[in-house]
Amino acid sequence: QGPRLESAAEVDRLERDGCTMVGMTTMPEASLARELDMRYAVCALAVNHAAGRVPGDTSILAQLERHTSQGAERFAAVLERLIPAIC
């Protein structure tokens, strides 16, 4: 399904539940993997602060682009070390 930005209501609910970070790329994959008894791991970047809180806020796209670009190099370094360790 791909990434989906959270709504303000979702962020509010998660905050009330004690969450400090919201993931937008691990469902339904994680649930399906669990049902099929498959191993599943996530390596993700934190790229924005609570999308959906400010109606019509277009700066979120700039945040996503900036943080994704900054994290890509570090992410590649993690994968270069991780893949040989698990294969």
Say if residue 2's pLDDT is above 60.
no
Q: State residue 16's pLDDT score.
A: 92
The residue that leads in pLDDT, 14 or 56, is: 14
Whether the upstream peptide bond of residue 84 has omega within 30° of 0, thus cis, is: no
Mean pLDDT of 30-35: 89
Q: Write down the mean pLDDT value for the chain.
A: 80
Mean pLDDT of 4-24: 82
**CA nearest 52: which of 64, 67, 65, 66?**
64
Q: What percent of the chain has pLDDT over 70?
A: 80
Centre a 10 Å sphere on the Cβ of residue 13 and count the other Cβ atoms it contains: 12
Q: What percent of the chain has pLDDT over 90?
A: 10
Tokens in use for 42? 């996530």
The residue that leads in pLDDT, 82 or 52, is: 82
